[in-house]
Amino acid sequence: MKKRVGVVFGGRSVEHEVSVITGLQVIENIDKSKYEVIPIYIDKDGKWLIGDSLSKFENFKNKDFKGVKEVVVVPNYNNRKVYLHPEKTSLFSKKILETLDVIFPAVHGTNGEDGTLQGLFELMNIPYVGGSVLASSVGMDKVMMKSVFKSYELPMVDYIWFYRNRWEDKEKLIEEIEKTLGYPVFVKPANLGSSIGISKAKNREDLIKAVEVAIRYDRKIIVEKGVEKPREINCSVIGYDDRLKTSVCEEPVGWEELLSFEDKYIKSNTKGTKNGRRIIPANIPDDIRVKIEELAKRAFMAIDCRGIARIDFLLDDKNNIYVNEINTMPGSIAYYLWEPKGISFKELIDELIEIAIKSYEEKNKNMYSYDVNLFNKIDFQNKCGKM
């Protein structure tokens, strides 16, 4: 019998459109002989919708959705059902529309990649692809991520972070940044991806503008020291616990200072050539590649990740390696990094679903009840006073 896979995409995030593309890519490439796909779209208002028309990209371009129904999922333990929205049915006739075996989340950014959606799936006790609540939230928050990486002694560039309200005394903060980091620096919202809200500052005027942009997107801001003549090298990791394997490395090219949203999602990707946006595999010495692969695994395990993630590195002109960030599911499926190793997108999706089921089975070996008959051993009235 085919497993019923709910692919969840969209969401209330500035990365909504990217998420739709990721979700539709998964739906297009999943093995239909093994899985029955249920598209679950979260619109920009936060409504959950299902319907066959949600599996076609043209319908999103034309905003033409036929037969779409608003639904809810209930966070009850071992509940795997998708119900018609209560307003569409009577109180005593909750209509079950779908029953799911596993969930493939493809919601980028806020309210999806940050552990919130994963928390819902944990309450439902349903297998889901990608990192846990902890791994997702730590991987999303660049400040927490770097704190964890620091404890694992992973090499990183120097940085400063602050809350939005500190910008009210901007002169003091600017002086601290200039004294500690100098220029150039990169200014980033702590909890966003896809290069949104990120700027490079070469002087004080740039810095002020960069922070003013970043604080529109997040209350936590991180400022990182710029690397001289940097090369970006990325590597993907798949697996769980210490059973990990790495992809080939890539080098994004054609960028001078920062990969923009357009660079990442609109411009073409050509493998193995500088005429495209990536060189795959990256043209780096074997010893550097081996170090990057090892650091990628260490970063993956540092946040207790599972499923798949892409770890981004910076390489300076002296071949010093710095861990820049980890992009957990669904921030990066990075299927193009696995194809050179003979793993197709379809096979990658299949492996991710298998990991989700195995880690789910492993989690459910844990004991969640400890009966000590506590209620009968405590005199509540005398202990706590009368209600």
CA distances to 205, 382, 384 from 387, in Å? 61, 11, 8
Q: For residues 302 and 150, what is the distance between their CA atoms, to the nearest angstrom?
A: 10
| 108: region left, alpha or beta (phi > 0 left; psi from -120 to 50 alpha) | beta
Question: Which residue from 91, 53, 46, 92 is spatially nearest to 71, judged by alpha carbons?
Answer: 46
3-state secondary structure of 128: strand
Q: Are strands 48-50 and 69-73 parallel, antiparallel or unpaired?
A: antiparallel
Around Cβ 165, how many Cβ atoms within 10 Å?
9
Task: Judge contact between 325 and 92, C-beta under 8 A.
Answer: no
Q: Choose the catalytic residue: 194, 236, 247, 359.
A: 194
Whether residue 212 lies in the annotated active site? no
Q: Choose the catalytic residue: 15, 250, 251, 293.
A: 15
List residues forming the annotated binding site: 142, 186-188, 194-195, 224-232, 312, 324-325, 327
Return the C-alpha torsion angle 280, 285, 289, 291, nearest 10: -160
Around Cβ 180, how many Cβ atoms within 10 Å?
13
Q: What is the DSSP letter of 94?
A: P
Q: Choose the catalytic residue: 293, 332, 351, 359.
A: 332
List residues forming the annotated binding site for Mg(2+): 312, 325, 327
The encoded tokens of residue 310 equal 């892409």
List residues forming the annotated binding site for ATP: 142, 186-188, 194-195, 224-232, 324-325
Whether residue 53 lies in the annotated active site? no
The encoded tokens of residue 154 equal 């992973």
Whether residue 15 lies in the annotated active site? yes
Which residues are known catalytic residues? 15, 194, 332
